[in-house]
Amino acid sequence: MSNLDISRIRNEIENTLNTFLPQIQGEFFKTAAFGPLPEAVSEKHISELLTPCRSLMSLGGKRWRPLLQVLCAMMVAEAKGKNDDIFENPGVKESFALTPLVEFVHTASLIHDDIEDGADTRRGKPAAHITYGLDTALNAGVWLYFLAPTAIDSLNLSADKKCLYYSMFTMELRRLHLGQAMDIFWHRNPDIFPQIEEYQAMVQNKTGTLSCLAVLLGVLSGGGTKEQALMAGDIARGIGEGFQILDDVQNLTTGNPGKKRGDDIVEGKKSLPVLMHISKYPEDKDKIASCFKKAQKEGIMSASVEECISILEKGGCIKEAFEKGHKLVKSKSRELVQMFEKSAVFSDAANEIIGLFEAMLPKV
């Protein structure tokens, strides 16, 4: 049982995000984002960047990455014996201030994912490029990547620590785009099916990178060493991989929230259930490739979508992938906590990390 006030943590995260990506353009935001500007630049010009990003962020999302980041900072601070009011701990305050790094990058990546995948909806609403136009959405998403590290600039830290945060942030962004490049190459080529190991590498970069970044920032701000942060970040990549596998499965079963069942097939995504099935039943490879081609040509209402799902269901690989994703999230989240917990009785923050992932896992 934890004594942490999770609603307070969530509220402080939202306040920080709204400070750096505000509804009303105040002087702090303008100075942090742009520095001195020519007088001819007006709020309506800045809104072309701000509005598409705020619109998507305001539609919700679990905010589990910034929450994980702050909980990691609290866990490390507690492990170092800092047991006063945890919200007043300087490292925890630092971690709250850095939460835009993970949430803004996540939001920007969703804008670009929808453009690259040709998706029409996100979180149950029209995607940003549908609402605001391709050019505006693309430009706003790129800007949001660059806005995120203003959170580092706002802190009164040594130059060395700021450089370390910048270095880790930009490294994970480069890895994220490498993972996306791998994914795009495969879904643009219906006949190419990567090895399962290649899929895992792609997901650890594309999806695992933000889990990793959240943990890197949390451990460092909480007072952990660079070495501890890197070890914990690698564990967190596995958590991200597990959730991507479960997302793959959901797409082929109930459908992801705000999207349609099987739209990964239309987009040509080489998800884990597909790769596991082909590894197990190579004789079905041409049939599945044909389904992909027809679905891409005919759209989500194509009969080939359900035909492909039926093939995967009969082979048992959707269920097998679900079990793998489930196990990966549970084992890696516990491994992360055990890095900093030396006794069988976990700290409040450690228990909250375990509980966070337990609550996010779909029921078996």
Q: What is the residue extent of each domain of the chain?
A: 6-35+43-360
pLDDT tens track for 295-337: 999 999 999 999 999 999 999 999 999 999 999 999 999 999 9
Q: Which amino acid is at 306?
A: E
Q: What is the pLDDT of residue 50?
A: 97
Q: How far apart are CA 195 and CA 203, in angstroms?
A: 13
Q: How far apart are CA 328 and CA 361, in angstroms?
A: 11
Q: Which CATH number does 6-35+43-360 carry? A: 1.10.600.10
Across the range 219-241, mean pLDDT stands at 97
Best CA proximity match to 250, nearest among 337, 180, 179, 325: 325
Q: What is the pLDDT of residue 342?
A: 77
Q: How far apart are CA 188 and CA 195, in angstroms?
A: 16
pLDDT tens track for 162-217: 999 999 999 999 999 999 999 999 989 989 999 999 999 999 999 999 999 999 99
Query: For the purposes of burial, counting CB atoms within 10 Å of the CB of 273, is it exposed (0-12), middle (13-18) or buried (19 or more)?
Result: buried
Q: Which of 31-40, 255-264, 275-284 has the lowest mean pLDDT?
A: 255-264
344: confidence class by pLDDT, cuts 50, 70, 90 = low
Q: How far apart are CA 169 and CA 86, in angstroms?
A: 25
User: Which residues, at least 6 apart from 298, have a Cβ–Cβ distance to it below 8 Å?
Assistant: 304
123: confidence class by pLDDT, cuts 50, 70, 90 = confident
Q: What is the pLDDT of residue 249?
A: 96
Q: What is the pLDDT of residue 82?
A: 63
pLDDT > 90 fraction of the chain, expressed in percent and rounded: 86
Q: What is the pLDDT of residue 364?
A: 62
pLDDT tens track for 46-73: 999 999 999 999 998 889 999 999 999 9
Tokens at 314, concatenated: 């009969």
